[in-house]
Amino acid sequence: MFKVGLENYTVLGRHGAYDFEHESKQPFTVSIWVELNH
């Protein structure tokens, strides 16, 4: 098994349903891990 990951990766983006949510960038922090089995 081989495991690779990206942990606590923060990006800035504009997201939301209301106009005021698009006025400034919001931080989004993600973690992703992938396990490869052969």
Three-class SS state of 27: strand
Q: Report pLDDT for 15.
A: 86
> Left if phi > 0, otherwise alpha if psi is -120 to 50, otherwise beta: which for 19?
alpha
3 state DSSP class of 9: strand
Nearest to 2 by CA among 31, 25, 34: 34
The pLDDT of residue 26:
94
Residues 1-38 pLDDT 10s: 999 999 999 999 998 899 998 999 999 999 999 999 98
Amino acid identity, position 30: V
| Tokens 């606590």, located at residue | 8
- The tally of domains found in the chain comes to 1
Domain that holds residue 16: 2-36
Q: Which pTM value belongs to this model?
A: 0.58
